Chain A
Amino acid sequence: MLRYTINRILLTIPTLLGVAVLVFFMLRIVPGDIVEVKLRGDGGAVTQETIEMERHRLGLDKPLMVQFKDWMVGVVTFNYGISMWTERPVMEEIAIRLELSLEVAILATLIAILLAIPLGTTAALYRDTWIDYLMRILTIGGISIPSFWFGMLIMLSLLAAFNWLPPITFTPIYVDPVANLTQLIWPAAAVGYRYCAVTARMIRSSLLEVLSEDYIRTARAKGVQEKLVISRHALRNALLPAITVIALEFTFLIGGLVVTEQVFNLNGIGQLFVQSVSRNDFTLIQGMVMLIAAFYVFVNLAVDLLYAVFDPRIRYA
């Protein structure tokens, strides 16, 4: 197990370094940078000299390889430089928004998993009845409806029902949990819907598969209560493949969050990312891409390790 763990952790390093190299060169393939957006955007006549000065100040006039070296050193030492637009450290810009986005992501995951397990289980147990069909319609909806539009629908329904919209200012959960949740539960539901739908579908199909196994028949034959057969014997084994889906779908969650934060006007990582893309803020884009990729890589790492804990076959393979 230790060997497997170490190997698996080491495998994340080339991926993350690859992300760093890729994002750096991708942003610089095509000429054009933030200086033009920033200075020409005002519509005023800006001399070439001013542009060159600004480039020099931001370090954009250095040879590409020197910039690359600086970036890679920064990646390894967790120093991502300063935002080219706001002139504040990238880490700081991210840090003040991370709490909000992280909380929405966690809430969405919790909503998804807590709903998906009972939904998927009931659908499997009542296979081909109206409950199952209802579940299927709900899951198909979850896969088809874009999370940002679902968010808009939530807002519309809140307006129609209560003539009320969620607050826009962020209150940390440890300051005022009620104010915090009334703001963040809606975006979490919007991005969590798809997550829940996909997970429930996976639980349903893997539970059906497990229920036809010999050991389930054995358990029933020796007189174990049906409730225990489901919870102890079947569900435990059926949840394993669901974990993979939860990890795979995590990227969808982040992607959905990037767009949905706009709908709810949340000042989180997603909104910052979209802003920095429209401003060509290279340093901020790079920093956030590293963060998102790292998140993805570590969630996958955690899932792989969990899988190995639960399923001994993987450890020894």
Chain B
Amino acid sequence: MPWTLTLLLGLLAGLIIAPQATSAQSRGETLVVVTEVGPNMLDIHAPGANRPSYQAAWNIYDRLITFGSKTLKDGSKMYDYASLKPELAESWQLAPDGMSVTFKLRKDAKFHDGSPVTANDVKWSFDRAVTVGGFPTFQMKAGSLEKPEQFEAVDDYTFRVKFIRKDKLSMPDLGVPVAAVINSKLAKQHATQQDPWAVEWVKQNDAGGGAYRIESWKPGQETIYARFEDWKSGPMPKIRRVIVREIPSAGTRRAMLEKGDADISFDLPPKDFAEIAKEDKLKVTGIPIENSHRYLGMNVVKPPFNNVKVRQAVAYVLPYEKIFSTAFFGRGIILPTPVATNTFGYDPKLYPYKMGDTAKAKQLMAEAGYPGGFETPFYMDAGRTTTDEPAAVLIQEALNQIGIKTTIEKVPAANWRANQGKKEMPLFVDQFGGWLNYPEYFFFWNYHGQNATFNVSSYVNPEMDKWIDSARFETDQKKYAEDVREMQKVAMRDVPRLPFVQVYLDVAMQKNVVGYQYWFHIQLDFRQLAKS
């Protein structure tokens, strides 16, 4: 009996090891994307929609307008936030007084179920976005799109948006993933008394009219998109089918790319991108994420960090270079000032401190009344362990030199939002990035006295508010530039936070994958990709 068993096992092993061919043809028409986490719902307006669900929303829904593209010096392509292009709307006209805009929708657009797209669908979708609350409403508000009264379906193919104030962000805000056009007839069939916006149904089903439709969705495993052959809002995409597979292990994702089992991935650790970029098997593009930075934050209302001298002392010892090369492997740009390198107003000269001046730091600590230092917990988001843990350890070591003893606390990713909201963390590493590439937009959510969730330091300073409020609605270019400069000066003087890096959005792909373009939402736009 043992011998027959051994034979059986050997046969089994043989079956397993012998290579298996997959049809070459199917591989050529299909794009295989590997990612860590996929969409947890298909409705971007639903509460709790995670970031990968923006990718689904972007590709299966149309918006009124989209953005053009520009090519950077190194040949990589990115969206052009200053150039708005038609998508569902063929053309639009700003009213003479600038307080409204009228869109003419294309007449041949259809939803995935075959029904025509009309202005009523747009109105229903926008009403929904501003009413459901949470992130979509907050995002619409960023462009002063706040009330259903602002949206009017003039006729089946004419749609008007009335502005409640002149806001340069209103038009771009219509091109963000949240401003999706949903098939209202289909959705309304599944609406109930408690759920008038059919959130429960749209979460699980495709109610879109975008260039791709959902062929199958297995949450936690994979999402398969198929090209919508009747899509009219732009040039027909080249890729017929996209398979997005969720692979939790980064090492496996990289191995799949290198072996050719996957075509494209953008959420690998920076080390992998650095190495892949050096080898020659795959293409890597790295574009600094606009209007974003990763930073060391401090709570400015509670001791000990409520003393500005303590915060400045930290600035003097923060190991910018070490963090950049060791935690981020150079995949980004060292950014000691708050405005990102590819956002208006970027000025590295506004950094007033000398990096690595430990003596000065110790002097400041003594002046602040902490010559012997102090102890403090130090928080980080466990979801960003790959980069933030080494960064935190390096910061911990540096702070040790001036007597600040820290204990690193890793907070599970799902609880990070709650921690931000409570605003009790004295010292933490966090990041923020804004979809709309305007510095005052960033400052409004991070430094303004309105004390939004993202102002985790609880920084409230009327002087700062003055500059931010001025910048938001300033039309004169020179005054605007001055406002932005002053904002940063105050930020660097009070240092509620110390930005240290602007990370790249790194994307690795097979050499035959072309057309990749960076978008502000970070996600892939399948419509632009092709296999040569």
A binds B: no
CB within 8 Å of B: which residues of A?
none
Residues of B within 8 A of A (CB): none
